[in-house]
Structure formats: structure tokens, C-alpha cells
């Protein structure tokens, strides 16, 4: 009997061979690979520009073999909007940022780009803390969460409640696509690539602003081994940051 072999996985062409310096168990590495696979599947490596900002997500240009721009803190969305206007329909622009940068200093730019319905794909890596700068509080840190700046746990008194910024985007008419997945469970990682692809396709068809949030873990600042960090975050975010596709254009796009 003749055996036939078919390759079902390989090293993504858009992923650089540079060794990654993310900490063991960090979800940025998973996100990087998923973005590379989405770019390869859509065959847009030569027509796409990525924009990153500050923190650990700023390492992305070293690991993706595509054109990328690094923006100052809070300025990734304005930089991406400028690129998008310049490139027009000839190419695609995506933003990859941590939640500290996007929902902190970048919040106003995020919402104004969404209100204008800019043709952009924004990917937010939300790992509940500011990783690279030592694990201090971020806008999505949970109540009771111990961080470098809240050693006794985040309280409502000084810091308010954690806000689900992803779902705040839902009522804005210029926003076409809003989704969220966990970058640390096998089933959702498989769906994650399709969400990135869908977001980029929506941009290609000029359907407006699209947004994907990836819930991640930062084992280093949680001071836990990766499996324990996954367990802890999974249970802590349950009911607060749900996964799913919350908004999508109904017609005109097939994957
Ligand atoms: S500090 Fe946290 S977010 Fe940064 S690379 Fe390490 S685990 Fe990832």
C-alpha cells in the first residue's frame, strides 16, 4: 500500500527565524505566530504594515518578517491611521499593542479612530498588567489583583473597577468587527487565527474598524509557573472578560 503524506503544519513564512525573547509561557509568542499564520493564509505579507507601541509587544518587529513601525507610547493608533490614509486600498495596516498602552495613554486615539470608522485592524494583547515595566497596574487589572503598584490588591477606592473596553466599542457605528479569545487555551488559540484573518479581510473590503482582544498571561509578573498562571487567570477572568465574536458584518465577506 502506498502511503501519502500531506504537510499540515510548518514554520510560517512571515515569522522571522530570530529566537524570541518573550518569557517562557508568555502569550505574546502565541499571538506572534497566529498573526504570521493569518498573514500567510491571506497571502498579504508584501502588502501589510504592522504598528507596535511600548512594552513587551514592542518586540514584535524582531519576530515578524514583514514591514513594521514602532510608535511612541499612546501613539500607535495615530501612526497607523496616517499609514492607512497613505496606503489606502492598496494595502493593509494592523496595530498590535498591550492593554496598558492601548487602554491607558492610547485610549482617546482608539475611540476616535473607532468613531471615524477608520480602516484598521487593531489587535490588543490584554494580560492584565504592564509586563515589561515590572508588572504594575493596568486599566484591565482585576479587583484584588496584586501588582507591583498594588501590593495589597487593586481596590475600587483608589483605582475604580476594571472596564471591559472591548465591549465598550460595540455601540460605535463605525466599528464593524469586535471579538475576543483566550490566547492560552488550545481550542481558542485555533479560533484566534481565524479572528485575525477575519479582521484583516474586513479591512480589505473597506468595511471599517475591526478589533480583536487576546486575553493573555504574564507568568513572570504573576510569579507563577505557566500552568498555574493559566489556571489562575482562567478562573479570575471568568464572567468578567468573556470570549466570543460580539459584532460582525452580516454580509459581503467569506473566509
Ligand atoms: S514580562 Fe510578561 S508580558 Fe513580558 S514577555 Fe515576560 S511574561 Fe510576557
Query: How far, in Å, CA of 111 to CA of 203, rounded?
Result: 17
State the number of CA atoms in the 13 A half-sphere of 56 facing the CB. 28
Question: Which residue among 19, 20, 21, 23 has the greatest number of ligand 1 atoms within 8 angstroms of its CB, and so is best to mutate?
Answer: 23
Nearest CA to ligand 1 atom 5: 22
Would you list the domain boundaries of the chain?
A: 27-247
Kindly give the distance from the C-alpha atom of residue 230 to the centroid of ligand 1, in angstroms, as a whole number: 14
Q: pLDDT digits over 123-157, tens only?
A: 999 999 998 888 899 999 999 999 999 999 999 99
Name the pLDDT band for 219 (thresholds 50, 70, 90).
very high
Q: Residue 69's beta-bridge partner residues?
A: 51
Q: pLDDT digits over 75-103, tens only?
A: 999 999 999 999 988 899 999 999 999 99
Kindly give the distance from the C-alpha atom of residue 114 to the centroid of ligand 1, in angstroms, as a whole number: 28
Name the pLDDT band for 8 (thresholds 50, 70, 90).
confident
Query: How far, in Å, CA of 76 to CA of 101, rounded?
Result: 9
For 27-247, CATH number?
Answer: 3.40.50.970
Nearest to 169 by CA among 202, 236, 124, 216: 124
Nearest CA to ligand 1 atom 2: 218
pLDDT of residue 185: 95
Nearest CA to ligand 1 atom 1: 131
Does residue 252 register a pLDDT over 90? no
Q: Residue 221's beta-bridge partner residues?
A: none
pTM: 0.94
In the predicted model, what is the mean pLDDT of the chain?
Answer: 93
Query: How far, in Å, CA of 38 to CA of 194, rounded?
Result: 7
| Overall average pLDDT of the 192-197 stretch | 96
> Which residues line the pocket of ligand 1, CB cutoff 6 A?
22-23, 26, 28, 56, 127, 131-132, 218-221
Amino acid at each position: 500500500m502506498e502511503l501519502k503524506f500531506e504537510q499540515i503544519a510548518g514554520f510560517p513564512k512571515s515569522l522571522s527565524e530570530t529566537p524570541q525573547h518573550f518569557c517562557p509561557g508568555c502569550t505574546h509568542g502565541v499571538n506572534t505566530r497566529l498573526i504570521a499564520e493569518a498573514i500567510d493564509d491571506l497571502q498579504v505579507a508584501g502588502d501589510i504594515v504592522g504598528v507596535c507601541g511600548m512594552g513587551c509587544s514592542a518586540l514584535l518587529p524582531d519576530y515578524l518578517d514583514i514591514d513594521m513601525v514602532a510608535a511612541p507610547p499612546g501613539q500607535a493608533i495615530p501612526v497607523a491611521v496616517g499609514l492607512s490614509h497613505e496606503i489606502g486600498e492598496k494595502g493593509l495596516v494592523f496595530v498590535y499593542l498591550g492593554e496598558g498602552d492601548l487602554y491607558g495613554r492610547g485610549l482617546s486615539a482608539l475611540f476616535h479612530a473607532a468613531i471615524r470608522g477608520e480602516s484598521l485592524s487593531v489587535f490588543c494583547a490584554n494580560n492584565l498588567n504592564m509586563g515589561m515595566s515590572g508588572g504594575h497596574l493596568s486599566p484591565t487589572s482585576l479587583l484584588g489583583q496584586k501588582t507591583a503598584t498594588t501590593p495589597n490588591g487593586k481596590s475600587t477606592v483608589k483605582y475604580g473597577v476594571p472596564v471591559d473596553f472591548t465591549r465598550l466599542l460595540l455601540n460605535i457605528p463605525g466599528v464593524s468587527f469586535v471579538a475576543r479569545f483566550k490566547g492560552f487555551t488550545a481550542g481558542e488559540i485555533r479560533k484566534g487565527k481565524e479572528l485575525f484573518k477575519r479582521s484583516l479581510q474586513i479591512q480589505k473590503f473597506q468595511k471599517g474598524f475591526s478589533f480583536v482582544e487576546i486575553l493573555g498571561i504574564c507568568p513572570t509578573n504573576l510569579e507563577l509557573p505557566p500552568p498555574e498562571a493559566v489556571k489562575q487567570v482562567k478562573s479570575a477572568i471568568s464572567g468578567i472578560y468573556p470570549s466570543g465574536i460580539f459584532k460582525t458584518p452580516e454580509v459581503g465577506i467569506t473566509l
